[in-house]
Structure 1
């Protein structure tokens, strides 16, 4: 299966992405050849089977009636590729849907349903406040760092305190988490009509979720080991859900989760089939969405395109 990846496409005139990557490197240092965030991960081959429910809203090839192959990566959030799974409360799930025309549509998700700020400059400033002059996550007092951020950005207090709470209990399994791409996108149908949507990956087979306090931490890699056993048993499935935006719902603010009463539609199911060990540097870019899907004006979404490019270019140069 061919995996789409991209080289050298960052904007050299935008200093913010490089500043962001440089700041991230101060958290735990540099790890040549590794991603600057979500460095530790595991890849799987998968099949995505759409159910046709998205057809009235989009012409996207992977959301029609035919199954498409996919590449999936589950990851921890730190930039250290050897960090123990239980030290990272925030997890990632990135998907490339491989389309019939040889391109791919990307969907990059995390276990946090919203971002901490709606503009890139504030995000970088928060990182600098958190790390101050210290290098190494073990030297950073997250409690004090978050309180210092709240002092400067009191409007973000609730989300920052919620993030802090997630450090108290490690997750049970990659397969039992909900994942959110956080940004709004536009679906475009064959008549050219646009519909604002937000995505969510929901575990398909789980009726009675366990509490994170029941996690069985058997090794530093317990999440990938547990996931591999599940995949061997054919029991890792996720439903892709969209929520339909309504008039007044923000499409350019990734800190706005939208009201809970928005209509939800299951548009397909992802089934993991086997583990994959890629021999090339694979990039997941949330702005590569394909025909039938359009980007909103969310500045954080567009910033991620260039920031991921800076990280990717360093990675392929083994920097």
Structure 2
């Protein structure tokens, strides 16, 4: 979920190699959140880790790819609309939930640190969406196909970053560190359970994308309801992933050529006992859900010149009627996204500058 990374280990003991490869790839999704969270929390003082320094870590580990996002750099812009059915309007005064259409600009992506990675590099897919209401207010949401984060505290995120960091001499992480880290963090069990069953999808359009973090809906009377949300595909498939490098974008374009692609926006309402400040905890048991409407993707375009290019999918850009929860990762993500966005867009300006413009001070 992030403008968001470690290489793969030496062969570990028998029976753990596939799991470690998955963990190394999936750890990239939480890496930027780790540094940004530490920055906001201040837990790394006196040598404070700022969002800029977090981005430096990504560049060190993955190289610099001018004009690309520092995390999830391989992606494609999409555009369409959200058709609200009005079912969520009693829960939130946000215009997006009133019956009718709201235009959206989104981005489907692969969570690696290299824009040239093969689509098989990690089983996670991401979907970032910007809804623009008639009153000009926006709702931006970054979602991932994983249901939870591995851990939920600043120190645990920092420790995870250390456990998956590459050795400068080998370019690979110590194969013993990830298993040792997860053994010391039993709260990661929901995440590890998902890792065991995660499969490479053959298509962006058959994935479910989850907010992972909790948010709060506020109605016209000020009543507050914590929620998590998911985009659930209307078409599902268990087809195996192709072996080609860029099959996700090719598949998306082919499917859109035959018609719009659709996801249902499903809100899961928190129960009183559910944690809203820990993204590593799943909400188990019976929960009320509300299908708020359908997100429809009608077209795609290359990310370097498409509508999504200059959008910072900051999860705290929210309209009246939707608020961030007490989950500290939200503030952390917002800070890191901003740093990455400024660096990336400056590079885009340089790439598109004319020779005369480049000479100007």
Q: Secondary structure at the match of 2:271?
A: coil
Query: Does structure 2 conserve the Cα–Cα contact (< 8 Å) formed by 1:27 and 1:135?
Result: no
Mind listing any 5+ residue stretches in structure 1 that lack a counterpart? 1-9
Measured against aligned partners, the alpha-carbon deviations of 1:52-76 in whole angstroms (never above 9, x if no partner) come to 0001100111111120110111000
The answer to whether the aligner puts 1:259 opposite 2:284 as a matched pair is: yes
Mind listing any 5+ residue stretches in structure 2 that lack a counterpart? 1-35, 43-47, 349-361
Q: How does 1:1-16 map to 2 (within 5 A)?
A: 15-16=49-50
Measured against aligned partners, the alpha-carbon deviations of 1:122-144 in whole angstroms (never above 9, x if no partner) come to 323312220143489xx435854
What TM-score do the two structures reach when normalised by structure 2? Answer: 0.77
CA, structure 1 residues 226+143, in 2 after alignment: closer, same or farther (shift >3 Å)?
Answer: farther
Q: Secondary structure at the match of 1:161?
A: helix
**Aligned equivalent of 1:90:** 124
Which structure has the bigger radius of gyration? 2
Which of these residues, 306, 311, 316, is aligned with residue 278 of structure 1?
306
Query: Does structure 2 conserve the Cα–Cα contact (< 8 Å) formed by 1:28 and 1:135?
Result: no
**Aligned equivalent of 1:51:** 85
Query: Does structure 2 conserve the Cα–Cα contact (< 8 Å) formed by 1:188 and 1:294?
Result: yes
Which of these residues, 267, 274, 282, is aligned with residue 249 of structure 1?
274
Q: Secondary structure at the match of 1:86?
A: coil
- The one of the two structures with greater contact order (alpha-carbon pairs below 8 A, sep at least 6) is 1
CA, structure 1 residues 239+68, in 2 after alignment: closer, same or farther (shift >3 Å)?
Answer: same
Measured against aligned partners, the alpha-carbon deviations of 1:250-291 in whole angstroms (never above 9, x if no partner) come to 111111121142111110101111113427522111111111
**Aligned equivalent of 1:150:** 182
The answer to whether the aligner puts 1:295 opposite 2:324 as a matched pair is: yes
Distance 2:318 2:106 in 1: 15
Query: Does structure 1 conserve the Cα–Cα contact (< 8 Å) formed by 2:167 and 2:173?
Result: no
Which of these residues, 346, 352, 358, is aligned with residue 317 of structure 1?
346
Distance 1:54 1:142 in 2: 48
Deviation at 1:164, TM superposition (A): 4.8
Which of these residues, 210, 217, 223, is aligned with residue 193 of structure 1?
223
Query: Does structure 1 conserve the Cα–Cα contact (< 8 Å) formed by 2:166 and 2:173?
Result: no
Measured against aligned partners, the alpha-carbon deviations of 1:161-198 in whole angstroms (never above 9, x if no partner) come to 3465467x421110111110101111111111001111
Which of these residues, 241, 260, 271, is aligned with residue 215 of structure 1?
241
Q: Secondary structure at the match of 1:45?
A: strand
Query: Does structure 2 conserve the Cα–Cα contact (< 8 Å) formed by 1:45 and 1:72?
Result: yes
The answer to whether the aligner puts 1:205 opposite 2:230 as a matched pair is: no
| Matched pairs, number | 301
Distance 1:171 1:141 in 2: 26
What TM-score do the two structures reach when normalised by structure 1? Answer: 0.86
Q: Secondary structure at the match of 1:310?
A: helix
Distance 1:49 1:143 in 2: 47
The answer to whether the aligner puts 1:122 opposite 2:156 as a matched pair is: yes
Query: Does structure 2 conserve the Cα–Cα contact (< 8 Å) formed by 1:74 and 1:94?
Result: yes
CA, structure 1 residues 134+178, in 2 after alignment: closer, same or farther (shift >3 Å)?
Answer: farther
**Aligned equivalent of 2:203:** 173
Query: Does structure 1 conserve the Cα–Cα contact (< 8 Å) formed by 2:91 and 2:219?
Result: yes
Q: Secondary structure at the match of 1:309?
A: helix
**Aligned equivalent of 2:54:** 20
Measured against aligned partners, the alpha-carbon deviations of 1:18-72 in whole angstroms (never above 9, x if no partner) come to 3432333343222222211101100111110000000110011111112011011
Distance 1:47 1:19 in 2: 36
